[in-house]
Structure 1
Amino acid sequence: MLELAEWVFLVLIVAQFILGNLGNGFIELVNGSSWFKSKRISLSDFVITILALSRIILLWIIFIDGVLIVFFFHLHVSGTLMRIIDIFWTFVNNLNIWFITCLGVLYCLKIANYSHPIFLWLKWRVSKVVVWMLLSALLLSCVRTMSLINEFKLYFSFSGIDSKGNMTEYFREKRHEYDLMHVLGTLWNLPPLVVCLISYFLLLFSLGKHMRQMEQNGINSRDRGTETHKRAIRIILSFLLFFLFYFISFLIFSFSRFVPQRKMSVMIGEVITMLNPAAHSFILILGNKKLKQSFLAMLPCKSGHLHPGSTESFSP
């Protein structure tokens, strides 16, 4: 018999799973069909498309993991099946984080204005910078996944040990070493987090400075350009919020190994983790002009009565 917390957890992950697949599937459909028709795709649309694809795969992995947590928790904490899920989770999750970082760098270099020589050098080579970042993301994700081999060796070295009797101390020592190695593995996510935060903060400062200059020049706060900049700032702040929540979920996952109520901690971390690929897709839709126009065209309301500038959005 499932407890109340488990029922709430199931409802939340199912709802986020459905919404996330709808949002990311819509991005794939719009950008994919446009790519197929024109045989061309912009760099920003390409990054958003592969980000949406990685999130769809990630949502399926998290959903399967969530089902195991509720109905087969003993398989979630041990066994070959969990090791397989770990491999797919690690690879796709690292790709997803790096794709978000690439999108942040792309937005920053395309939109922000700074006179520093290094920034200008990167801005003039934005396409090459992002392409190399995407290739590096694939390589680093593969390396991170291969690093799990040492964790698995350590796991299987003590998984067959009986935790009772004379081997108890050795079992606990190896188990603690394995948990510590698993926690330290989250440090792989630190570089993309730092790069992404720097990119979005630079972009926020640049947009904020530009807005202040517009206001000092006597431009009305309700001016279309000013409203666009305000909307862009709100979207960037939402990007940062979801990205930070995503990393908080990893901290909860990691330290759940060291708390008594491990199952509850894992469920909380799972819900927060799923929030990013599910909800953030709709922010991407509203922040991209083409995606937003396609989304509004699907709504039953009379889109012809919309304000001409209402579909203007944050897009490089």
Structure 2
Amino acid sequence: MLGLAKSVFLFLSGTLFILGMLGNGFIAVVNVRSWFKSKRISWSDFIISALALSRIVLLSILLADSVIVVFFVIVYIYGSSGDIIHVFWTFTNHLSIWLATCLGVLYCLKIASFSHPTFLWLKWRVSRVVVWMLLGALLFSCGSAVSLSPQFQIYFLLRETVGTGNVTEHLRKQMGEYQQIYVLNLLWYTPPLILCLASYILLILSLGRHMQQMRQSRSSPSDASTEAHRRAIRIILSFLFLFLFYFLAFLVTSSSNFLPSREMTKFIGQLTTMLYLAGHSFILILGNNKLKQTFVELLCCECGHLKPGSKGPLAP
């Protein structure tokens, strides 16, 4: 049964890896090509491109981790490969979460409308806010990776002690220290989670209030502007739901050592994480006019309804 579970896990990991690489690779290629053509790039396109590239790296790390867990589990547990993957995963995952947070803050400051002085001050300095957030993202990501060192040291001592069969009070004390350090390392994810939740909630409230005002001022409740606001709210809600879903999957995966059915828990959490990394890229494509237009034109070319280089029905 476990062999079947590993086979299914490996198949699903490979499928999600391919889908994620296609979606995130498409985003990166389109935005980078546009950047080279126009010699400039907007903050939103820059963050989305960086987010896509970080997720390509994340998917590659997860696929490598899946192969090692299935075929070389002893090396993974007692060797250094698991620690190396953990360091790269922590840095890239933290950077990806911060980039998603920066995108939410940017959308909030660009689109939302509030009269609070602090919000207006940030809105007028949106470029500076984004620059400092990106620098902070790199700093926090490096800090989260470096903070793994004490956790690795205690985990190494635990492996050595368990290997000798000497289960003593000292071992239980070390296990308690390991759990404490693990919980403290999770605190690195608190700032981006709070900022992301706050920005998306403020954006939803602002769009909802604006849509209600348009309903009251217009005779037709289903005009194009109202539908556009509804679509924006649905996309933002999907962003928020998937982000929370991803964070939960990350907690499950990283906490698999403390949960029953350790191997199955890790499989489920890792597949859920890859599902988010792949699925969110296609939501980004559908929510961005330039990416969506290019994607539709590419599909039309593949289906033979549009000649390469010609203008599609969505082209300006």
Using structure 2 for the length normalisation, give the TM-score: 0.91
The 3-state SS of whatever aligns with 2:115 is coil
Q: C-alpha distance in 2, partners of 1:150/1:20?
A: 33
For residues 249 and 14 of structure 2, the distance between their equivalents in structure 1, rounded to whole angstroms, comes to 18
1:87 and 2:87 equivalent?
yes
For the 8 Å contact 2:252–2:269, the answer to whether it is kept is: yes
Report the RMSD for the aligned CA atoms in angstroms: 2.1
Deviations 1:176-227 (A, max 9, x none): 4324422432221111011000000000000011111111112423311111
Q: Which residue of 1 aligns with 2:247?
A: 247
**Residue correspondence of structure 1 range 1-316 to structure 2 within 5 A:** 3-300=3-300, 302=305
Partner Cα separation in structure 1 for residue 232 and residue 205 of structure 2 = 12
- C-alpha separation in 1, matches of 2:165 and 2:59: 42
Kindly provide the amino acid, as one letter, of the partner of residue 281 in structure 1: S
| Aligned-residue offset at 1:156 | 2.6
Which shifted more, 160-169 or 285-294? Answer: 160-169
- Separation in 2, partners of 1:74, 1:221: 62
Q: TM-score under structure 1 normalisation? A: 0.91
Judge conservation of contact 1:182–1:254 (CA < 8 Å) in 2: no
Kindly provide the CA deviation profile for residues 95-152 of structure 1, in whole angstroms up to 9, marking residues without a partner as x: 0000000000000000000011000000000111011100010011111111111112
**Unmatched segments (≥5 aa) in structure 2:** none
CA displacement at 1:160 relative to structure 2: 2.5
SS of the residue corresponding to residue 114 of structure 2 reads: coil
The one-letter amino acid paired with 1:38 is S
* Identity among equivalent pairs (%): 57
Q: Distance in 2 between matches of 1:220 and 1:76?
A: 62
- Pick closer, same or farther for the CA change 1:180–1:257 going to 2, 3 Å: farther
How many angstroms apart in 2 are the aligned matches of 1:32 and 1:250? Answer: 29
Q: Could you say what secondary structure the match of 2:40 adopts?
A: coil
Moved more, 101-110 or 241-250: 241-250
Amino acid at match of 1:20: G
Specify the SS of the correspondent of 1:161.
Answer: helix
The letter for the 1-side match of 2:8 is V
Structure 1: unaligned runs, 5 residues or longer: none
User: Could you report, residue by residue, the CA deviation over 1:52-86 in whole angstroms, capped at 9, with x for unpaired residues?
Assistant: 11000011011111122222223333421111001
Give the aligned length. 309
In structure 2, what residue type is equivalent to 1:154? I
Higher-RCO chain (CA-CA 8 Å, sequence separation at least 6): 1
Contact 1:28–1:53 under 8 Å retained in 2: yes
The offset of 1:232, in angstroms, is: 0.5
